[in-house]
Structure 1
Amino acid sequence: MTKSATFWWAGGLTLHERLPRPSQQVSGTANALERLERWRRAHEELAPDWFERRLAAAGLDEKLLTGLLAEAPDALAKRVARPGWADFVDSALTGASDRRKAFGDDWIGALATGLRPLVEIAEAAVAGTANPDVTAGFVHCLGRCLARLAARTLVLELNRARARGQLTGRTPAERFAEFARRPDLDALFAEYPVLARLLAQACQQAVAAHLELLERLDSDRDAIVETLLDGRDPGPLAKIESTGGDAHQHGRSVALVTFSDGRTVVYKPRPLDLHAHFNDMLDWLNGRVPDLGLRKVALLCGDGYGWQEFVSAAPCDEVTGLSRFYRRQGALLALLYAVDGSDMHYENLIAAGDQPVLVDVETLFHPTMQVDTATGHDPAAQELVRSVFRTALLPQVMLGENGSFDVSGLGGDQGVFPTDGVGWDGAGTDSMRLVRRPVAMRGGRNRPRLGEQEAEPRDYQAALLTGFQAGYDAIVEHRAEFVPLLRTCATAELRFVARPTQLYTTLLDESTHPDVLRDALDRDSVFDLLWTDSLDDPMRRRLVPHEIADLWAGDVPMFTCRVGSRDVFSATGVRLPNLLAESGLAAAEAKIADMGEVDRHNQEWLIRASFATRPRPVDHRGTDVLPGSVATIVPDPQRLLAAACGIADELVGRAVPGPDRTNWLGLELVDDKQWTVLPMGAGLANGYPGLALFLAQLAKLTGAPRYGDLARRAIQPIPRLLDALGDDLALALAVGSGGFHGLGGICYALARLHRLLGDDAEVLGWLTTAVRLATALETEAGDEPADVANGLAGGLAAMLAVHAETGLSTAGTLAIRYADRLATGRHATTDQVGFARGPAGAGWALLRLATAIGSDRHEAVGATYLAADGDPAARLDDHGWCAGVPGAVLARMGRADEGLARCVDALAGHPPLRDLSLCHGELGAIEALTVLGHAGDERAAAAVGRRAGLVLGSLDQYGARCGTPNEVPTPGLLSGLAGIGYGLLRLGFADQVPSVLLLDVSHHR
């Protein structure tokens, strides 16, 4: 660089490169101390004590780090060797030509033009190694890559120049173009040495990777023609294109290599031995499942790299091809499950006619990692990560502010990515600025088509299940010969995915902000998110230094391991011995040994459950009726009790036991928008407290200790959960006070369980802690919804129940505080109607409190809320408790309302609903009649007996249909089996079983 800043590059050195410490201790300046504190605060909300622990893990302390932050560039440069990237930059700027070839007509191409001096050095390094068109393509791609890396900084400098009046041109576009053509790179790199490092590094890596590819192509060309191109010479090399995949191991990535006749092969800069073994597995499975014929991918394996046939997407020739496709995909799923395959998302699958073709299988035999949550080890979470769900071949939906997107091998729909991405307003003008906005998704090539119409996977669930069953049964029947085939994979290399790739790509993107490109230590602080994420995870903590080194290399971090080994290797080949608890091969052998009828049943449930999560509109209304007639079974109490026991025994069978707790997998409606397969959480509505409540109530009625014991094991995480919420105010406020999805529901469940489990003192202690936490949060809470499910009304009703059941005075006091906040009217309800999420529930809760304490003021406000809910007689078609007629009737009980008679008649005479759930199914509708009957309404009482007989008939004919898509069984209270069981107990023993939908206790029968 032609400037006085001889040591301009020193600021580009990383924390690791600046160690060991300076020979003379540098005292901290005010600026250094300020940066130290900013570094400490960067991730403090994730782990309050993270900074000291992070420093200790790296052998650092605050004094040393402060000294490094304060060290002057010239002093640093004198004790550290000059890096090669600095020489590259100086050479580029010294030897820059006046050529200004464009890299495209858009703003990226314009910015790339100004970075031409760096590209020229790279171009010279590859000159003459391939035909001019290939070299020109390399130069074009590299220039645009550099422009994207530098975009944030260049746009900042553009705006600074505009503010200073330093731009020339008549229009915003002309001023942008002039700036882009002639950036002062000397000054730019002096201020942003980290940017100079990143750009030089990208050039050096691109050259090395390009030359390596060309050398391998030259060496392997004859074998490629023979193995992948049918022995027909394709002509000279015409083009090399990146697939847009992630870069690993110093900028290497998958590329498409196209020849002059138009044919293409895929180059992969990693070993393909594992894929070759996968082809052997496909041959094996094809030989044991009739008419399967799964297609293999042709390969040519090299030493540490390989070539692969290019698989083109194509439509099916006939409609039956769609069924064949999904049957084959089901068999693939069985095979991937058996060998612990993962990451088979939509970009790794090609729909080639009626053939689902996996083009990337680098994560077969993937180690299963320990899953820990804020409440400790969750056996259901661990079960999920070792199930068919882990393959990512089944629907897996991402959620965000822009909706949902199914990333699985079955998904890949066109649409919008769930979270905003980086974009530019005013692109190509002098007012250009970075914005966050929705990102369009083009969709994948993974879905079969008939013509141009893509198939909807939901329509082919049966075909996929048929294929899964055939593949699964073949593996089980012939496992004695299948396992030896797997053992031949022992030395093959697989990719070990330690964290989500999206985390890495986000870190790479956010660390190009100009604020962290002036000094590499500031960029290091961004990467320290990995430390905070690993402090309590010894295994991942060993990976962090290697992850940060990869990120500094511009790569998505990558680790590998051998199928038969517990060792893990970094991208640079550093061995991390015995990092894994067991090898992928040992885990697969153990899984295959356990495969059988019970396991297949469990996996088939997960398949059906995951299909239920395919994005679709969510309907909370209870409008669908059973498709045919139902025989009535006399609903005597013992029959109802026996039916409830049958459901409880199914829940016992579905339970996933762990060392100190038991949990379940279920379907949960997240944010009332999207069904998701999850381990049960702590909400009353669909979590383990609601399920435990049903089991404990059943134990009380039957005297069977196994139900009560399981209820106790289910709620064991609650004290750890309360501790976690007490330590994280923001999380606790997000949980809220709601009666079904918040702390109110947890308190209600604990109050009931305290009694049902024999006045359990331990449970009472947890309840006292929970009420104390809710009280503390009430003083901190801001705007909170008014409704029963998520908000203040639910907290109010729950605290009234806790006080009535246990006599806890703090609960009664908190109930009044909730009511006073509701009475202000500032906590508006949502735009929904009904009991659960509308104003009817808020009015009901206030009226309940008004009756309890004799408050005219709260009664008046409660009546206002009821009026705001509208006339329930105007929505007689909705028979769901949550938003329809039953909830409206329950909210208005005991009040003069001319429309209630019509509502009762509608409930009594309506055909049986399609599902039996409490939320928006038949048992929720009957609950309103049950409560009215106990209050003296003879029409309602007569209807309860009639409809209870229909419920038993429906159970006998159709099973326990849940309030989920396709009525997939799920264990929860409002939508699932626990609620159906509880509803049966209400029908048979209403005088002993309080209404859970009214958050009632035994004193409020």
Structure 2
Amino acid sequence: MDRWREHVANADPDVFRTRLDREGLDEQTCRNRIDDGGWPSNEPLPAWIDRLEALLQYVHESSPSDYAISVDEELPFVDILLPVLAFAREGIEPVSTECVTADAVEDLIEILANRLSKLWSHTVFIEFKTHIAERDPDLVFDDGDVKPDSIEHYEEFCDRMLRDELAAFFVEYAFLGRLVVSVIDQWKNWVGELCDHVTRDRERLNKRFGSETALGPVVEIDAMGDPHHGGRRVLSVTFQSGTTVAYKPRNSDIVAGFYDLLDWINRTGDLLHLETLEVLPRETYAWIEWVEPRTCGSETEVRNYYRRAGMLIAVFYALDATDMHLENIVAVGDQPVAIDVETLAQPMVKPQNRSVNEAIEVAKDTVVRTGAVPEHVQSPDVDDVAGFSAKQLEVNITVDRFTDVNTDRMDIESVPHPNREGESLPQYSGEVIEPEEYSGAIVRGFVDVYELFMANEGALLSDDGPIEQLIEREPKVRALYRDTAVYTKINRSVTSHSYHRTGLRFGTQVESLAKLLISGELDRDVWPIFECERSILRRFNTPRFTAKIDSTDIFNRNGTVVEDFFESKVSDQIRDRIRGFSKADLDEQVTYLRWGYGEYEQIHGGGSTATLSATELATGEPIDGLVLEESRRLYDRLISHSRRDDGLPTWVLREVMQESGIYIHPVEDNLYSGRLGIGLFAAGLARLDDDESYRDFALDVVSPVMTRLEDDISPPFPIGGGVGLGSMVYGFTKLGELLADDACIAAASEAARRIDSERIAADNRYDVLHGSAGAILGLLALYEVTGEEDILDRAVQAGDHLLNHRHDHQGVLTWSTPSIGRPLCGFAHGVAGIAYALFRLGSTTDAARFSDAALEGIRFERQQYDHQAQNWPDLRPNTETDWMDAWCHGRTGIGLARLGMYEIEQIPELRRDVDRALQGIETNELYAADHLCCGNFGRIEFLRRAARTLDEPTHLVDAKRLAAASVERATSSGQFSTPWQTEHWYNPSFFTGETGIGYSLMQFAAPSLPCAVLWE
């Protein structure tokens, strides 16, 4: 009961009561039924019991001479598996002899063998180890003296199981017994179905796929993909003639319509020819031409391959396709061939029927949704799976593997899941050629087809055009309601022995799919979806839903599941998409493609050296007269780009993750790029401009973060001051002060409470943005407001954690960045920021150990200073330049950190570093980027602070000139220059976007605003 409550209701008793009410139950009734554990005496036993009994009787009465089955001898416990397979084979022999050869039957049995082995091997292994322990206890813990080929105990165990104990085994593992006979029954059904289809379609198959001679009987069969609809799977079917055809046990009219569209493109446009496949569609299944990968013969063929890839991406985009990942595309010489297009024309689920994700709303109108373009996958288990991606499919999980199979030494070890390298990328001269080298060809191909569709919209959408012809086929497409990985994870649990005794534990696992329904986040009308999922998963299958192209209902194999489930008919989506083709949309999609394949200017952290003369630009009004007007303009832009899908404002960010691709995601709960930073900008404007709407807006922005903290449902965070819990502590503290709002201070305290000893001990980043240094700065800000000693104690814990994780580097005790293996210079990730945090902690606590550690640490940076460059180097690998002048890395941030320390104690060495930084700054050059982290406003912050702290007004003059020049340039171009911001896309982030620029501008008019880049 506890496990059920946890899975379906996050252990909330009230929510769990709602779940029980749905079934007309109460908790005591459930407990009574679980305790009873038996079967009601007045009800007949379920039919699977009879089938299991028949299996056990066959095993008991048969002998090895009856089996005559050849399967992989490396399958664990193959000797126990053989009679089970022989029992299953008896059910198919009458229907298979005419259409398939004996070899093909063996292939079918091998498919069943692999599935059963995957299902029960772990549980049989537990019993085997128990057997070993009874016979030779020492062998359980140490098999060093056992010969590698020893099988004495193994053979004895198999003999016991088959002779006496298999029935007892299935009594103990009753749910496993049900699954075994269910899998066998499913296999018999689809094998019979396959043989019937081969026989029925023989003449059509010969006509469509045969040559001058008949195809002959089936001689070889192999299975691919997940089992759906009663264990059915996609098969490769090879006939005696040598011809191989794909058999797909589902309606494939969409496939035929897709290739008709490619034929239309080939006939209509003077473009590269796109390969099409022969299709023999039937009502509930289809036969499709089989293709094998082939290498390219020249560099020209490689280039043409990627141009055709761009053409296919345009087709996918036009048809609203999704999931066109690497396993659905095969590189056949210079032709990318889409072999599985069941997710073409993908309908959009109504928002009330799914978890609201603003990124989905944005991505649905982009090429990223197709799944063919590199995309960052926010999953710890799976990396990019795009159809045209160099990364291919990396699966970051471990799997169990049997060792010394079917011997006395047999054991299980955990190994990394093998990466599934698809066949979607071209090969030339023995090497896979990555798409980044041919991004221009991809873009050109995309533009070719996009412009062809624009120029021929009338013909494309006419009654006899390819789109209407496709729609008239009334094809069914797969509707992806939930990520298949969710189902895979649940099905993987069925292979664990701990789930095999009864269905109760597996049932609680499946219940997690109902969590959003029970909590009320989804419309209760969606309940039939969950009931279908539950029913299918209980049969060790993967749920599969479909949509009809001219309907808004969602279906499964048995009919309608939920009526009016989708936002619109897919046919209307396709028509609207093509009618919406325009020059502006083309430019936006091309930008996605260029970014996805590495064509973008990295102005965050890359140290762009593009400069403009600030003197020439700053010819207009001085910055003092622009602050309020510009701040209001930035606020208006912020409002205009917000979304309110659930009533509260949010924004969607688009960026490129260097190692994986485009990342489209809602703003997160942090200061650096998320809600706390945006809220801080609005709160600053509320202080500067007497308008209550700014205050209300600031609180609306951060209210989801408050809710997640209150409900304890926030995801695990690092503890840093930029993107972690420390950033929440600081952000809410400053909002509370600026808005005089006690609820914000309470939220800051709640976030601080989560910076506990366990989280601090787990920190291995140490820096300001992600680690303990940032936690210290956030906690100190809150402590200055509340004076609570518990807050200061947590900051001290974080400080001691930093002291305990120093190491000697060239004679200096300092901190290394784990991912790099050495210390870094700079504020955001380097020693400067860590030392600044410790120095402030030492000042607050009067604990010299922290101040001393800070001064010791900056000796490292002092060693790195380059007098000729007048700067500290950027020591990160793989950067575009060795030198940056920014808040995050380089002299601006280091100078600002030293200035913050100098304000606490006027130590000459600190002042010298401040002066070095100021002397190196080019105050008459406007950098290409404007934002706080790596752009002009980081320098402006340092210059303005230096003018105040050092009482040197010239620095303020320089800061104002740079600010005025930046504003003038933004006025001319319509926006500030920040990462991932284009004419189509907006970046509201604080450190990397426009809200931080606005907040910095406001400090010219309101110097009392806290300096956020110092966590003041």
Q: TM-score, normalised by structure 2?
A: 0.81
Alignment partner, residue 721 of structure 2: 739
**1:459 Cα deviation from its structure 2 partner:** 2.9
Alignment partner, residue 996 of structure 1: 1012
- Cα distance, 1:166–1:855 mapped onto 2, change above 3 Å: closer
Q: Which of 285, 288, 291 in structure 1 is aligned with 2:271?
A: 291
Using the alignment, how far apart are the partners of 1:349 and 1:910 within structure 2? 53
Alignment partner, residue 13 of structure 1: none
Using the alignment, how far apart are the partners of 1:443 and 1:975 within structure 2? 38
Following superposition of structure 1 onto structure 2, how do residues 82-93 of structure 1 map, counting pairs within 5 Å?
82-83=47-48, 84-93=50-59
Q: Which of 839, 842, 847 in structure 2 is aligned with 1:847?
A: 839
SS at 2:77 equivalent = helix
Match status 1:139 vs 2:88: no
Per mean C-alpha deviation after superposition, the further-off stretch among 829-838 and 201-210 is 829-838
Alignment partner, residue 406 of structure 1: 384
- Cα distance, 1:970–1:789 mapped onto 2, change above 3 Å: farther
Match status 1:58 vs 2:58: no
**1:260 Cα deviation from its structure 2 partner:** 3.1
Q: Which of 667, 674, 680 in structure 2 is aligned with 1:687?
A: 674
Q: Is the 8 A contact 2:622 2:964 kept in 1?
A: no
Following superposition of structure 1 onto structure 2, how do residues 328-367 of structure 1 map, counting pairs within 5 Å?
328-367=308-347
Q: Which of 88, 92, 96 in structure 2 is aligned with 1:126?
A: 92
Using the alignment, how far apart are the partners of 2:40 and 2:51 within structure 1? 19
Alignment partner, residue 810 of structure 2: none
Alignment partner, residue 507 of structure 1: 490
Using the alignment, how far apart are the partners of 1:653 and 1:293 within structure 2? 44
Alignment partner, residue 1003 of structure 1: none
Alignment partner, residue 152 of structure 1: 122
SS at 1:79 equivalent = coil
Matched residues, percent identical? 24
**1:269 Cα deviation from its structure 2 partner:** 0.5
SS at 2:227 equivalent = coil
Structure 2, unaligned runs of 5 or more: 140-144, 806-814, 818-823, 867-871, 874-881
Following superposition of structure 1 onto structure 2, how do residues 602-621 of structure 1 map, counting pairs within 5 Å?
602-611=588-597
Q: Which of 172, 179, 185 in structure 2 is aligned with 1:204?
A: 185
- Cα distance, 1:288–1:690 mapped onto 2, change above 3 Å: farther
Using the alignment, how far apart are the partners of 2:1008 and 2:1002 within structure 1? 8
Alignment partner, residue 816 of structure 2: 831
SS at 2:246 equivalent = strand
- Cα distance, 1:334–1:105 mapped onto 2, change above 3 Å: closer
Alignment partner, residue 820 of structure 1: 796
Alignment partner, residue 716 of structure 1: 700
- Cα distance, 1:560–1:380 mapped onto 2, change above 3 Å: closer
SS at 1:790 equivalent = coil
Match status 1:881 vs 2:887: yes
Using the alignment, how far apart are the partners of 1:65 and 1:217 within structure 2? 49
Superposition RMSD on alpha carbons, in Å? 4.4
**1:942 Cα deviation from its structure 2 partner:** 8.2
- Cα distance, 1:531–1:456 mapped onto 2, change above 3 Å: same
**1:971 Cα deviation from its structure 2 partner:** 1.1
SS at 1:255 equivalent = strand
Q: Is the 8 A contact 2:250 2:286 kept in 1?
A: yes
SS at 1:368 equivalent = coil
**1:928 Cα deviation from its structure 2 partner:** 3.6
Match status 1:450 vs 2:428: yes
**1:206 Cα deviation from its structure 2 partner:** 1.7
Q: Which of 150, 153, 171 in structure 2 is aligned with 1:190?
A: 171
Q: Is the 8 A contact 2:677 2:996 kept in 1?
A: no
SS at 2:115 equivalent = helix
**1:551 Cα deviation from its structure 2 partner:** 1.4
Q: Is the 8 A contact 2:772 2:799 kept in 1?
A: no
Alignment partner, residue 69 of structure 1: 34
Using the alignment, how far apart are the partners of 1:103 and 1:711 within structure 2? 75
Alignment partner, residue 18 of structure 1: none
Following superposition of structure 1 onto structure 2, how do residues 353-432 of structure 1 map, counting pairs within 5 Å?
353-370=333-350, 377=356, 379-398=358-377, 405-411=383-389, 413=391, 416-424=394-402, 427-432=405-410
Q: Which of 445, 454, 457 in structure 2 is aligned with 1:467?
A: 445
Q: Is the 8 A contact 1:114 1:180 kept in 2?
A: no
Q: How many residues align?
A: 944
Q: Is the 8 A contact 2:345 2:570 kept in 1?
A: yes
Tell me the amino acid that sits aligned with residue 837 of structure 1: H
**1:935 Cα deviation from its structure 2 partner:** 3.5
Q: Is the 8 A contact 1:396 1:610 kept in 2?
A: yes
Tell me the amino acid that sits aligned with residue 839 of structure 2: L
Q: Is the 8 A contact 1:680 1:687 kept in 2?
A: yes
Deviations 1:694-750 (A, max 9, x none): 57768988x799xx9799657625223312222217x46x33553211344345445
Using the alignment, how far apart are the partners of 2:437 and 2:685 within structure 1? 39
Using the alignment, how far apart are the partners of 1:214 and 1:195 within structure 2? 29
Using the alignment, how far apart are the partners of 2:565 and 2:931 within structure 1? 46
Using the alignment, how far apart are the partners of 1:516 and 1:430 within structure 2? 26
Using the alignment, how far apart are the partners of 1:651 and 1:467 within structure 2? 36
**1:67 Cα deviation from its structure 2 partner:** 3.7
Alignment partner, residue 665 of structure 1: 652
Alignment partner, residue 24 of structure 1: none
Tell me the amino acid that sits aligned with residue 152 of structure 1: H
Match status 1:556 vs 2:542: yes
Tell me the amino acid that sits aligned with residue 221 of structure 1: R
Using the alignment, how far apart are the partners of 2:742 and 2:447 within structure 1? 48
Per mean C-alpha deviation after superposition, the further-off stretch among 689-698 and 837-846 is 689-698
Q: Is the 8 A contact 1:563 1:585 kept in 2?
A: yes
Structure 1, unaligned runs of 5 or more: 1-35, 1001-1005
Q: Is the 8 A contact 1:279 1:296 kept in 2?
A: yes
Alignment partner, residue 25 of structure 1: none
- Cα distance, 1:778–1:202 mapped onto 2, change above 3 Å: closer
Alignment partner, residue 503 of structure 2: 520
Match status 1:918 vs 2:932: yes
- Cα distance, 1:102–1:304 mapped onto 2, change above 3 Å: closer
SS at 2:30 equivalent = helix
Match status 1:625 vs 2:625: no
Per mean C-alpha deviation after superposition, the further-off stretch among 979-988 and 233-242 is 979-988
Deviations 1:469-500 (A, max 9, x none): 44344445544554455455263211122211
Using the alignment, how far apart are the partners of 1:668 and 1:179 within structure 2? 61
Following superposition of structure 1 onto structure 2, how do residues 762-911 of structure 1 map, counting pairs within 5 Å?
764-778=741-755, 782-783=759-760, 785=763, 786-798=766-778, 809-810=785-786, 816-825=792-801, 831-832=816-817, 833=824, 834-848=826-840, 859-860=851-852, 862-863=854-855, 866=858, 871-873=863-865, 875-876=872-873, 877-879=882-884, 880-893=886-899, 894=902, 895-897=907-909, 898=912, 901-908=915-922
Alignment partner, residue 547 of structure 1: 533
Q: Which of 678, 682, 686 in structure 1 is aligned with 2:665?
A: 678
Deviations 1:521-548 (A, max 9, x none): 3332232222235423235432122112
- Cα distance, 1:230–1:47 mapped onto 2, change above 3 Å: farther
Per mean C-alpha deviation after superposition, the further-off stretch among 423-432 and 329-338 is 423-432
Per mean C-alpha deviation after superposition, the further-off stretch among 55-64 and 939-948 is 939-948
Match status 1:568 vs 2:554: yes
Per mean C-alpha deviation after superposition, the further-off stretch among 151-160 and 199-208 is 199-208
Alignment partner, residue 532 of structure 1: 515
**1:241 Cα deviation from its structure 2 partner:** 1.0
Using the alignment, how far apart are the partners of 1:751 and 1:163 within structure 2? 61
SS at 1:115 equivalent = helix
Following superposition of structure 1 onto structure 2, how do residues 227-246 of structure 1 map, counting pairs within 5 Å?
227-229=208-210, 233-243=214-224, 245-246=225-226
Q: Is the 8 A contact 2:253 2:475 kept in 1?
A: yes
- Cα distance, 1:910–1:869 mapped onto 2, change above 3 Å: farther
**1:304 Cα deviation from its structure 2 partner:** 0.6
Q: Is the 8 A contact 1:85 1:197 kept in 2?
A: no
